[in-house]
Chain A
Amino acid sequence: MSKKHIIVDPITRIEGHLRIEAVIDENNKIVDAFSSSTMFRGIETILKDRDPRDAGLLAMRICGVCTGTHYQRSIEAVEDAFNITIPKNARLVRNLIQGALYIHDHLVHFYHLHALDFVDIISATKADPAKTAQEAIKWAGISGYKPYTSAEADFKAVQDRVIKFAKQGRLGIFGNGYWGNKHYKLTPEQNLIGVTHYLKALDIQRDLGKMQAIFGGKNPHPQSIVVGGVTCVQDIQNPSRIALFKQLLKDGTDFIKGAYLPDIYMAGTMYADEATDKDATYKGIGGTGGGILSFMSYGDFKLDDTGFYEADQLFPSGLVLDGDISKALEVDTDKITEDVTHAWYKGDKPLHPYVGETIPNYTGLEKKDDGYAYLKTDEKYSWIKSPRYDGKAIEVGPLARMVIGYVKGDERITKYVGNFLKRANLPVTVLFSTIGRTAARAIETELMADVMMDWVDELAKNTASGDLSTWTEFDFDEVAVDCKGAGLAEAPRGALGHWVNIKDGKITNYQAIVPSTWNAGPRDKDGKLGAYEASLIGTKVANPEEPLEIIRTIHSFDPCIACAVHVMDTKGKELAVYKVDPNCTF
């Protein structure tokens, strides 16, 4: 009887390059886990010495999935440095661009990056389409909405298509999946609903992408946000633009409420045993995949024009620590540090981002006799650092936002979370699990879709009243002499901070701590596990050869690894040491 050390690389259906290694005991239970990113680009180094007005476009390329988020945070950091408050139209447009991203991103995450951890495509070929239609009506009923798909013929058509597809032998991107694994718990009919919505969601997301393009110019990587405001003045005064946005939002909302939420109820119910299995957790609270249970949010979506850090917010900022939902604390950003004990950088103590160093120190993987290269888990093993709040590992994301809003008694969030739990007939602690994390994202999507309809009306009303102001004027030469600022808010994946120092019109220092740095970081000097690592501890694995349970929990965080590993501050010069051929430029 011995423990197994397994490597899962690549983790697919995520953004970026992530490796998980796990140690599984003789009872097929995960007893240790390591999270590692295997790619480094150095975007902060690239931002140094550039004009701060240009940083946003480049910072956006940190990630093509949460596209537009880094763009906005970067520009907000510069606006904070310049002390600029943007006009109402600009605030609303930014909220709409970012809101469109949230619902697009959450939907794509659930269906295209996560659903196949719950939905067995092959099992769907055995479903009875008539029963499937009944099943769809049932779950939509619990949700309280009209089912998006409920016709037997529609399910039959998808099933026929999948059967034909499967008969061809090679399954392409669906090939070599974990089909038939006993931890797939949905019935054939439920699986057919999942597959049907997977395909339908591919269409829906194309339309949701258009929402961002209406005011952003394109998606991915919109282009209309500038320091001081937005540029899309012709689009906000055009009633047909507003009407198209509303139509797309409405169609998207029908899918969110008629398919996404019901599917979450369905999966939540079928996996409720795992979501309440305390034995399978790191801390003995919640269920499988729960993890560290310390949450943070910077807050986001400004609801008035009093200023970036003064405005009332859709998602409140705060902290909930160690699963204690009796109280929420306020965030003090001075307490944030980054530890590099197990990250491929030099350094001997945790440092605040303002004084942080990032000097690459790649110590590599260990090649073993079996031909594989393993992480040197006692040493450094990831390109991601370990951020800590007051020394504590933190989880960020939709679950953090919903839990913090709920604990703080935010009226809107309490209502949406409360409705969800009431309908599903589950206690709030069920959220502290893999499925809970996934459910929180769906709850947030519904909330966002509803509130965006109000914002687009507010924008139309404001422009109709004659206010076409989209930009706050500033004198660059005057404000960019010597200043610093921070853009701290949320991305779909959680708390996102960009920090910028500016001198004589140039960026002298640029820092970002992104959601997946918090979630995917390795353990720290005290051996405290990162959020991914802790969430895997205790998980029972059906078949150690098939890492289904591992990827399911990791996917529930919605990893964005390119985001997490761009971190590289002002020490660009040291990098020259690593250059193989300094002339190797274009």
Chain B
Amino acid sequence: MADKRYESVKKLFDAKSAKVETNRGEAYYEKLFKQCEDRLSELRELTPLKNRLDFKETIFDEGVNRRDFMKWASATTAMLMLPSVFTPLVAEAAELMNRVPVIWIELSDCAGNTEALIRSDGPKVDEIILDIISLEFHDTLQAASGHQAEKQLEEAVEHFKGKYLLFVEGAVPMAMDGLYGTNGAKGETFKDQLIRLSSDAAAIVAVGSCATFGGVPAAAPNPTDAVGVMDVVKGKPIINIPACPANPSNMVGVILHYVLTGQVPELDSLLRPKFAFGYRIHDNCERRAHFDAGEYVEEWGDEGAKNNFCLYKVGCKGPMTFNNCSIIRYNEGVNWPVGVGRGCIGCSEPDFWDKYAYERPMSNAHIKAPTGGVEKTVDEFGLGLLTAAGIGIGIHAAASIVGGKKSNEENQ
């Protein structure tokens, strides 16, 4: 039993964060660089889809500070896990983003990702809307309603057949043959609309946890049988950008990557781009040193909280969660859930509402009886161990041993 516990803890805390090879060697990058150059020159030959200004022209017209723009481009290059030599290419790709039309539809959603999109920095949002991406349709921002809105959508689909990126926000309710959600005057179900619009898309970007993995509506007992896009759409490239809501930097990153390379970025087994979801929150956390030192917030507002100690014991799921929050944060880096003393709720992971979203460590989770998935997870992490008291310390001790460090526990 002890061995099993040890193994499960080892598995959890020894999991390699850097699943992404951040350095793939010169030959690889040289080849990619050439490929990107070719792609961009090809795009440059295209007219900007006859519907957008040339961003290049706009930057100078509008007096957008070139240095700020290059600063953004270089940060974005790093975010995309590319060597700095790619920066000029990334900048150029941003200027050519208007060659890629985007259609954005909303299904069983709360518009949280739309709200996140309009908090985007780097290219500012007015630039995104007017100049940069060719936003052909967006429910929440669309000027026209009703038949005129539907016409706009259908025209865009027809005009850009096979070329557009379809951004999908919200889950797909499958129960009652999809009738828990309909769009448009014909009463088309979300499910049918998604399948129809997907068939003419170049690729589909599921944005936010609902569109990726079902999210809130799919939480137990999943009253409407909600699922993510990848469970409905088959035979098309799908990119998942989970989190609740998704970080706008990652949305822009995906579009940029597509423009730059003409391909979807490298994805993990959950179809998440590795440039964003290759990192484990825990490994880049500003409070990590306190975890290693065995210093924890024991309850909200205590001395530990005042000293920014580790939040594991008040439920932070940073060790289980892959996302780049601890690196790029939110709202132009202003803050993030660990910074604000709350901890991570695992919102970029499948089924996080049933697995992670509570303010206690898994040992005394007190979580809802799951409809699926949770037992398996708890088992995987070692149910016996996790129900033991003082699990944070226990795990810490084990992790420290695993990591070959001197444990505070031993001293005590």
Answer whether residue B74 sits at the interface, using C-beta atoms and an 8 A cutoff. Answer: no
8 Å CB contact of B146 from A157, A205, A547:
A547
For B124, the chain A residues whose CB sits under 8 A away are 202-203, 206
Contact of A547 among B111, B145, B150 (CB under 8 A): B145
**Using Cβ atoms and an 8 Å threshold, which residues of chain A touch B38?**
none
Q: In the complex the two chains form, is A175's CB within 8 Å of B152's CB?
A: yes
**In the complex, which residues of chain B have a beta carbon less than 8 angstroms from the beta carbon of A545?**
147
Question: Cα distance A85–B306 when bound, in Å?
Answer: 21
Q: A10-B145, A580-B174, A585-B218 are in contact. Are A217 and B335 (CB under 8 A)?
A: yes
In whole angstroms, what is the CA distance A545 to B148 when docked? 9
Q: Which of B130, B149, B366 makes the CB contact (< 8 A) with A165? A: B130
Among B136-166, those with CB < 8 Å from A are: 136-152, 155-156, 159
Given contacts A10-B139, A39-B181, A116-B143, contact A164 B53 (CB under 8 A): yes
B125 adjacent to A206 (CB under 8 Å): yes
Cβ 8 A contact of A471, one of B299, B334, B353, B371: B299
Q: Is the CB of A206 within 8 A of B137?
A: no
Given contacts A9-B146, A39-B108, A40-B180, contact A168 B373 (CB under 8 A): no
- The answer to whether B301 and A469 touch across the interface, beta carbons within 8 angstroms, is yes
| Distance of A387 from chain B, by nearest CB (Å) | 21
Q: Which of B130, B151, B244, B336 contacts A217 (CB 8 A)?
A: B336
Indicate if A491 sits at the interface (CB-CB under 8 A).
Answer: no
**Contact across chains for B227 and A584 when beta carbons are under 8 A apart:** yes
Stretch at the interface among A230-238, A398-406, A426-434: A230-238
Whether A218 contacts B223 by the Cβ 8 Å rule is no
Docked CA distance A379–B245 (Å): 37
- Docked CA distance A492–B194 (Å): 32
Q: Determine whether A562 belongs to the interface, using a CB cutoff of 8 Å to chain B.
A: yes
Residues of B within 8 A of A229 (CB): 300-301
Q: Which residues of B contact A174 (CB under 8 A)?
A: 143
Beta-carbon contacts of A437-461 to B below 8 Å, as 1s and 0s?
Answer: 0000000000000000000000000
Task: Please give the distance in Å from A562's CB to the nearest CB on chain B.
Answer: 5
Binary contact track B233-257/A, C-beta < 8 Å → 1, others 0: 0000000000011000000000000
Mask, A34-76, CB within 8 Å of B = 1, is: 0000111111011001110110011001111101000000000
Give the residues in chain B near A473, CB-CB below 8 Å: 299
Q: Complex Cα distance A233/B297, Å?
A: 12
Number of A-B contacts (CB under 8 A): 359
Contact B119 A219, beta carbon cutoff 8 Å: yes
Do A63 and B345 touch across chains, with their CB atoms under 8 A apart? no
Q: Which of B25-33, B182-190, B277-285 sits within the interface?
A: B182-190
Question: CA of A6 to CA of B146 in the docked complex: distance in angstroms?
Answer: 10
For the complex formed, measure the closest distance between the CB of A330 and the CB atoms of chain B, giving whole angstroms. 33
Tell me, yes or no, whether B362 is within 8 Å of chain A by CB: no
Residues A172 and B51 in contact, CB atoms below 8 Å apart: yes
Q: How far is the CB of A556 from chain B (nearest CB, A)?
A: 14
**Across the interface, do B145 and A551 meet the contact criterion of CB distance under 8 Å?**
yes
- Which of A53, A116, A221 is the most central at the interface, judged by chain B CB atoms within 10 Å of its CB? A221
CB distance from B281 to the nearest CB of A (A): 13
Q: How many residues of A contact B (CB 8 A)?
A: 111
**Secondary structure call for the A interface:** loop
Is B3 interfacial (CB-CB < 8 Å)? no
Contact B181–A220 (Cβ < 8 Å): no
Whether B334 pairs with A9 at a CB distance below 8 angstroms is no
Is B21 engaged at the interface, CB distance under 8 Å to the other chain? no
Per-residue CB contact flags for chain B residues 325-342 toward chain A (1 = under 8 Å, else 0) read 000011110111111111
A10, A39, A228, A233: the one contacting B180 at CB < 8 Å is A39
Interface locus among A23-31, A207-215, A303-311: A207-215
Given A169-B51, A170-B136, is A213 in contact with B301 using a C-beta cutoff of 8 Å? Answer: no
CB of B113 within 8 Å of the partner chain: yes
Of the listed stretches A11-19, A316-324, A346-354, chain B binds: A11-19
Please tell me if B275 contacts chain A, counting CB pairs below 8 Å: no
- Distance, CA A299 to CA B119, complexed state (A): 30
Task: Find out whether the CB atom of A11 lies under 8 angstroms from the CB atom of B145.
Answer: yes
The verdict on A568 contacting chain B, using a C-beta distance below 8 Å, is yes
A-B contact pairs, 22 of them (CB 8 A): A7-B147, A9-B146, A9-B185, A10-B139, A12-B140, A15-B110, A16-B111, A43-B217, A53-B358, A61-B215, A169-B50, A169-B51, A176-B152, A178-B143, A178-B144, A210-B332, A229-B301, A231-B305, A234-B305, A244-B334, A373-B186, A470-B300
Chain A residues at the B interface, C-beta cutoff of 8 Å: 6-17, 38-43, 45-46, 49-51, 53-54, 57-58, 61-65, 67, 108, 112-113, 116, 121, 157, 160-161, 164-165, 168-178, 199, 202-203, 205-206, 209-210, 213-224, 226, 228-229, 231-235, 237, 244, 362, 364-365, 367, 371-373, 468-471, 473, 505, 545-547, 551, 562, 568, 572, 575, 578-581, 584-586
8 nearest CB pairs, A to B: A64-B112, A42-B223, A373-B187, A217-B340, A471-B301, A170-B51, A218-B330, A64-B110
